[in-house]
Chain A
């Protein structure tokens, strides 16, 4: 039988070359800069006010020029315009765009192969975590003792805002990006994603958005907090324009990615891969994608309104013109709370997968677990107003929103039961992914229980705006999601690289990060309970000791993350070879060679049972 790769090697390569075949990240940067300059030039001439070279209109046009140029330079518009002209790609073209025989260069191009996109997502996620982490260290260093040290309040606020949004972006893609792309299509027995070009588009659009977001630092920052409340955002400098454009671009990326993920799972499962045989990570991915598809358009509109206010004299959020920041707050939180579960669910679903493999047992109560994810996604759409309990929006709705928020504890409680039930009396294999999973379980209990406190209106009245809230959501985002993401990295790393992630360095990293999380955010709970407000560069001596401990803990987290980075780099280059199925797992990604070939399967498999049946040989492995 002829195999896919044999086709690739015997097939004639596309003739000619042309500009399209030379497009890559470098040409994207060049085209982006050129069109950004064109945008600036046009803006300055159209909206010249006699003094300001960087008015909001000019800034927005410059950034739109950057985005457009980046898309053109990377090759995102090639296919739509070929379609317009009635020239569809041949199979040879498609193989070229999939990165066939292009070596490492394919990682710098608009490559459509889902595995390349998955690796690109890993790199982008690590880059975003690095930027957000550096800002976190700057924040904690500033807070090590009372008084202001090396940044003033304005700069501190900018650091908070950009740290917050960069980390949110990083965590949104941390699991669903790399693994939803690299392993998910193989898990369902597909040769690629449903829309490979949209897959590449989502990745490079994210890169374009991330560049703009980080660029905020170069134009005076964003001293208005990460929720960019409408009234004060109107008074912010050009950094606010950067932020708004970054979010608008990012929304395009998530929408495209979500459509692609859902369509792939619904329409490209191999024969026999019924819905109740789907690996549970796949369920987590599509539930997340559906939630993102619902939530992020609100963010798009929230920031588009902001752009109108700043460039076209509208009054959406301008009180003097009849606007109201409640509108911005509602639109933001209509996205903001579902976004928490867009971040959380893929990490939890990956841990379900890991727990089953490492305990050599089926996922405990598989259908309940899927149901809990669906219910959580649904509930997340009706809890947004709890972020405005103390602000005073619709006090009569506080009761209903308190109830819906507290209901969230039911599906999240089920997550614990499923994880613990899967591990219960299993022959648990204590490898690196398992270690990080146990870290998740502990931290998620702390983050989850403190979340129940905050859902309670009377208690929220006391704790809102204090470091208690900051500690709570960092236990969720860092202590839980990041731990889940690292567990997923350790689990699927052998499939990407053919090598184990270094066990010693990985465990050293775990203990540093785990201990650091307890110190940093545990002490932060105490600061909050004593009444320390958020978003202040300086604080009373009453909070001195707990802040010192928090900063020491933060340095431990940073050390642990650097050790992990070292582990990834050294393991990728010279780690212990793992073979195609090091965990003896049953899901399809482990049944193909490592690294998986282009188009994954010579012959599409036919599935006859779910992936969680472990026989005696694998149980005792």
Chain B
């Protein structure tokens, strides 16, 4: 390999500063975020594949139906005792129904709203260089996902469990629809927790002057991920609220 003399900008600059210019670091980190988003696209895609696959195969008609007894973890002991005493009646086919579409869309809307808020904050930071104002915007954007987490937790809590007793083995179970929803809702919570962390970080950093009108590139990185989370939230909600029944 033939090696030529270095140009001045490629020599090692003295002092405590980084080797590369902020522009280079920005470009590098942007690519890194895009790649992480790419991996996340596959992950969310695999979760949606799971949802659609289970719906398509609808094994033994169990997508939203299950033979058993309506219950929850709190009533497990009641049913278990009934099973043990032999007083359990014949199981009935329980139809679980879909989880609240309105609440799902509300979570998606909250995520989109927080993304828009961060975007507006970023534009303001870059235009008028007001870091204090951005700090306030970022903290609101960070708190919105907390609201989303609460609503998602409510959705998770409302997934109906069914008591099943098969060959003397007693357990609580979810239909495959509820199973797929549980995975997707858990993924939503995971993403919203990350958004909260990132939003709070930006807010604190802006308040401390680390993020400013001249140093805003990390805001853009976070916004890129935030927009992806909002987009994935909308796509997932669209699928899980429109493609539900097997017929």
Residues of A within 8 A of B (CB): 1-4, 7, 11, 80, 83-86, 88, 90-92, 191, 194-195, 255, 258-260, 262-263, 266-268, 270-272, 277, 293-294, 297-298, 300-301, 304-305, 308-309, 312-316, 318-324, 326-327, 330-331, 334, 586-588, 591, 599, 601-611, 613
A-contacting 9-mer, from B10-18, B120-128, B146-154, B234-242: B10-18
Is residue B95 within 8 Å, beta carbon to beta carbon, of the partner chain?
Answer: no
Structural contact, A86 and B207, CB atoms closer than 8 A? yes
Judge if B62 is at the interface, Cβ distance under 8 Å. Answer: yes
Q: Of A2, A194, A314, A601, which contacts B179 at CB under 8 A?
A: A314
Contacts of A610 in B (CB 8 A): 1
Are B42 and A86 neighbours in the complex by a CB distance under 8 Å?
A: no
Contact with A along B11-41 (1 / 0, CB 8 A): 1101011110000100110011001101110
Closest to A11 in B: B16
In the complex, the chain B residue whose C-beta lies closest to that of A608 is B2
The answer for the CA separation of A563 and B49 in the assembled complex, in Å, is 48
Chain A residues contacting B5 (CB-CB under 8 Å) are 606
Establish whether residues A86 and B39, one from each chain, have CB atoms under 8 Å apart when the complex forms. no
Residue of A nearest to B60 (CB): A322
Whether the Cβ atoms of A314 and B62 lie closer than 8 Å is no
Contact of B47 with A301 in the complex, beta carbons under 8 Å: yes
A588 to B180, CA, bound (A): 50
B96 CB to nearest chain A CB (Å): 11
B1 touches A606 (CB 8 A): no
Cross-chain contact A85 with B59 (CB below 8 angstroms): no
- Residues of B near A7 (CB, < 8 A) are 12, 14
B interface size (C-beta, 8 A): 65
**Bound complex: CA A315 to CA B176 (Å):** 5
- Beyond A308-B179, A322-B60, A327-B54, whether A607 also contacts B2 by CB under 8 A is yes
Report the separation of the CA atoms of residues A8 and B204 in the bound assembly, to the nearest whole angstrom. 31
The reply to whether B12 and A4 contact each other, CB–CB distance below 8 Å, is yes
Find chain A residues with CB under 8 A from B38 CB. 293
Cβ contact of A266, chosen from B31, B171, B175, cutoff 8 A: B31
Cβ contact within 8 Å between A268 and B28? yes
Residues of B within 8 A of A (CB): 1-7, 10-12, 14, 16-19, 24, 27-28, 31-32, 35-36, 38-40, 42-43, 45-47, 49-50, 53-54, 57-63, 66, 161, 164, 166, 171-176, 178-180, 182-183, 186, 197, 200-201, 204-205, 207-208, 210
CA distance A602 to B10 in the complex (A): 10
**A1→B28 CA distance, assembly (Å):** 27
* Distance, CA A255 to CA B182, complexed state (A): 24
> Which chain B residues lie closer than 8 Å to A271 at the CB level?
6-7, 10
User: If the complex has contacts A297-B46, A315-B62, A324-B57, are A605 and B3 also in contact, measured as CB distance less than 8 A?
Assistant: yes
Q: Is there an interface contact between A3 and B12, defined as CB atoms closer than 8 Å?
A: yes
A300-B43, A315-B173, A327-B54 known; A320-B164 Cβ under 8 A: yes
Q: Tell me the complex Cα distance, A263–B31, Å.
A: 6
Name the contact of B4 in the complex, choosing from A272, A319, A591 (C-beta under 8 A): A272
Cross-chain contact B1 with A609 (CB below 8 angstroms): yes
Contact call A267/B57, Cβ cutoff below 8 A: no
Choose among A2, A258, A308, A334 the residue that contacts B14 (Cβ–Cβ < 8 A): A2
- Contact A322-B3, Cβ < 8 Å, known A297-B43, A603-B12: no
Q: Residue on A with the closest CB to B18?
A: A91
Contact among B18, B24, B63, B180 with A267 in the assembled complex (CB-CB below 8 Å):
B24
Residue of A nearest to B17 (CB): A91
**SS of B interface (majority):** helix
Contact across chains for A297 and B39 when beta carbons are under 8 A apart:
yes
Q: Is B10 a contact partner of A587 (Cβ separation < 8 A)?
A: no
- Shortest B196–chain A CB gap in Å is 11
B32, B59, B62, B183: the one contacting A304 at CB < 8 Å is B183
> What CA separation (Å) do A1 and B14 show in the bound complex?
9
Chain B residue numbers with a CB within 8 Å of A3 are 12
Please name all residues of chain A whose beta carbon is closer than 8 Å to the beta carbon of B14 when the two chains form the complex.
2, 7
Interface-centre pick from B6, B58, B197 (highest chain A CB count, 10 A): B6
Contact between chains at B197 and A84 (CB < 8 Å): yes
- For B36, the closest partner residue in chain A by CB is A259
Interchain residue pairs with CB less than 8 A apart (25): A11-B16, A86-B207, A92-B16, A259-B32, A262-B31, A263-B28, A270-B10, A300-B43, A301-B47, A313-B172, A314-B178, A315-B62, A316-B54, A320-B166, A320-B173, A322-B59, A322-B60, A588-B1, A604-B6, A604-B11, A606-B5, A607-B2, A608-B2, A609-B2, A613-B1
Q: How far apart sit A308 and B179, CA to CA, in the bound complex (Å)?
A: 8
Q: Chain A nearest CB: distance from B111 CB in Å?
A: 21
Contact at A86–B205, with CB atoms within 8 Å? yes
Known: A91-B17, A315-B173, A321-B66. A611 touches B179 (CB 8 A): no
CA distance A471 to B57 in the complex (A): 35
Contact B46 A331 (CB under 8 A): yes
Question: Nearest CB to that of A312 among chain B residues?
Answer: B182
CB of A322 within 8 A of CB of B176, answer yes
Question: In the assembled complex, how far is the CB of residue A577 from the closest CB belonging to chain B, in whole angstroms?
Answer: 24
Distance from A336 Cβ to chain B, minimum over Cβ atoms (Å): 14
Q: Is the CB of B60 within 8 A of A255?
A: no
Which B residues are in CB contact (< 8 Å) with A298?
42, 46
In angstroms, Cα B59 to Cα A324, docked, is 7
A294–B6 Cα gap in the complex (Å)?
A: 38
- Which chain A residues border B63 with CB–CB below 8 Å? 322
Kindly state the separation between the CA atoms of A298 and B44 in the bound complex, as whole angstroms: 10
Report which of B43, B164, B174, B178 forms a contact with A301, defined as CB distance below 8 A.
B43
Are A322 and B201 neighbours in the complex by a CB distance under 8 Å?
no
Q: A315-B62, A603-B6, A613-B2 are in contact. Are A321 and B176 (CB under 8 A)?
A: yes
By a CB distance below 8 angstroms, the chain A residues around B200 are: 84
> In angstroms, how far is the closest chain B Cβ from the Cβ of A172?
16
Enumerate chain B residues within 8 angstroms of A605, measured Cβ to Cβ.
3-4, 6
Chain B residue at minimum C-beta to C-beta distance from A88? B210
Interfacial chain B residues near A259, Cβ < 8 Å: 32, 35-36, 39
* Complex: A270 Cα to B32 Cα, angstroms: 18
Complexed CA–CA distance, A434 and B79 (Å) = 69
B29 to chain A, nearest CB (A): 8
- Ranked nearest first, the 8 interchain pairs of A and B with the lowest CB-CB distance are A322-B62, A314-B179, A86-B208, A301-B46, A611-B1, A297-B42, A297-B43, A604-B10
Contact A294 B205 (CB under 8 A): no
A611 to B161, CA, bound (A): 63
| Chain B residues, CB < 8 A from A330 | 53
Cβ–Cβ < 8 Å partners of A255 in chain B: 36, 39
In the complex, which of the residues B28, B66, B171, B176 contacts A316, with contact meaning CB atoms closer than 8 Å?
Answer: B176
Nearest B-chain residue to A255, judged by Cβ: B39
Find out whether the CB atom of A323 lies under 8 angstroms from the CB atom of B32: no
> Given the complex, which residues of A lie within 8 Å of B10, measured CB to CB?
270-271, 603-604, 606
A305-B183, A609-B1 known; A315 vs B204 contact (CB < 8 Å):
no
Docked complex Cα distance between A313 and B49 (Å): 20
Supply 14 further A-B pairs (C-beta < 8 A) apart from A7-B14, A92-B16: A4-B12, A194-B28, A195-B32, A259-B36, A266-B31, A267-B27, A293-B42, A297-B46, A321-B66, A601-B12, A605-B3, A607-B2, A607-B3, A608-B2
Q: Are B182 and A314 in contact (CB under 8 A)?
A: yes
* Complexed CA–CA distance, A272 and B58 (Å): 57
Which of B2, B24, B54, B57 has the most A CB atoms < 10 Å from its CB?
Answer: B2
* Contact of B50 with A316 in the complex, beta carbons under 8 Å: yes
- CB of B7 within 8 A of CB of A321, answer no
Max count, chain A CB within 10 A of own CB: residue among B3, B173, B200: B3
Residues in chain B near residue A272, CB distance under 8 A: 4
